[in-house]
């Protein structure tokens, strides 16, 4: 049988990681289901007891979302700017209430599933992953941290203590669209996250759009982002060629062709949503 350790201080967790290899456990909502019928002899480092790593904080230059913050914490957090609206919408769609109350954003990120709902939103927010070890701290962009299906750049001696989201203009807003076999309690077939800043003249000043479930890891659409800058956010600005970075596969949830068509429609809807909201304002 493996060991189970539940430290209350980050320093103790980092010391443990420096000494031996541990499987890190946060909310456990993905950890336990995949081990049903296939238990593993592994050492578990339970970080749910770490003090001071649940409160979402406004910090100089941006926001810090710590590793203990649950999806419910994100959905209910007061004071988050409108750029976080997409992430908050994803938080409301991850599993049911029980999962949202236990599962963490950072666990979702570190799990590195191609269908992880948090990753496209973190890409759209230009977030950086904060990793700590006894040797010090380092930060990586989300795109450099998630390397593929269930693979990340975290070293065995490191703990992801949170993500830092740089501050954006108050006029920036986020959105998240998810396609699944049903509304909730479902793995995404395709999902799209976007953060746009639209100026008073109705044109796009800054834009970040990402797509999940169509690659081994979520990706941004740089050609589309460049095409939208300085233009009104209209759906007819979205072209099929803008989705060139996508490489969807056939699986039980949908064919590659269906995913590509669905991604084009969801991206178009996401862009169009900003035009509609500007008219409403």
The residue ranges of DSSP E strands in the chain, in sequence order, are 4-5, 23-25, 44-46, 57-59, 62-66, 128-133, 136-141, 146-148, 151-152, 159-166, 172-179, 190-198, 204-212, 219-220
**pLDDT, tens digit, 9 for 90 and up, residues 225-276:** 999 999 999 999 999 999 999 999 999 889 999 999 999 999 999 999 998 6
Q: Is the predicted pLDDT of residue 28 greater than 60, yes or no?
A: yes
Angle, vertex CA 31, rays to CA 30 and CA 35, nearest 5 = 110
Average pLDDT over residues 165-175: 97
Query: What is the model's pLDDT at position 240?
Result: 97
Report the predicted TM-score, pTM, of the whole model to 2 decimal places: 0.94
**185 pLDDT exceeds 70?**
no
% residues pLDDT > 70 (the chain)? 94
Asked which of 39-48, 142-151, 200-209 is least confident by mean pLDDT, the reply is: 39-48
pLDDT value for 279: 52
pLDDT one-digit tens code per residue, 59-99: 999 999 999 999 999 999 999 999 999 999 999 999 888 98
DSSP string for 93-157:
HSS-HHHHHH-BHHHHHHHT-TT-THHHHHHHTT-EEEEEETTEEEEEEHHHHEEETTEES--TT
pLDDT at 181: 63
Q: Sketch out the chain's domains with CATH numbers.
A: 172-280 (3.30.390.50)
Residue 105's CB is within 10 A of a number of other CB atoms, namely 32
Q: For all residues of the chain together, what is the average pLDDT?
A: 93
């Amino acid at each position: 049988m493996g060991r189970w350790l539940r430290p209350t201080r980050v320093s103790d967790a980092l010391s443990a990681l420096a000494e031996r290899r541990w499987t890190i456990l946060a909310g456990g909502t993905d950890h336990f289901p995949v081990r049903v019928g296939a238990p593993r002899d592994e050492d578990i480092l339970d970080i749910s007891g770490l003090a001071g790593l649940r409160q979402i904080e406004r910090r100089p230059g941006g926001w810090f979302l710590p590793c203990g913050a649950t999806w419910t914490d994100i959905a209910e957090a007061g004071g988050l700017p409108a750029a976080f609206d997409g992430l908050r919408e994803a938080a409301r769609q991850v599993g049911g209430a029980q999962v949202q109350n236990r599962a963490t954003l950072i666990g979702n990120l570190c799990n590195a599933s191609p269908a992880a709902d948090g990753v496209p939103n973190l890409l759209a927010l230009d977030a950086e992953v904060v990793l700590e070890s006894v040797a010090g701290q380092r930060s990586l962009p989300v795109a450099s941290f998630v390397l593929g299906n269930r693979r990340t750049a975290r070293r065995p001696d490191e703990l992801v203590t949170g993500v830092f989201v740089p501050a954006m203009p108050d006029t920036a807003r986020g959105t998240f669209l998810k396609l699944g076999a049903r509304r909730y309690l479902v793995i995404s077939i395709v999902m799209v996250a976007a953060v746009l800043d639209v100026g008073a003249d109705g044109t796009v000043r800054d834009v970040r759009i990402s797509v999940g479930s169509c690659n081994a890891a979520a990706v941004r659409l740089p050609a589309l982002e460049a095409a939208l800058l300085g233009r009104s956010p209209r759906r007819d600005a979205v072209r099929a060629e803008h989705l060139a970075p996508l490489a969807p596969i056939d699986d039980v949830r949908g064919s590659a062709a269906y995913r590509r068509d669905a991604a084009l429609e969801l991206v178009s809807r996401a862009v169009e949503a900003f035009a509609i909201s500007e008219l409403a304002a």
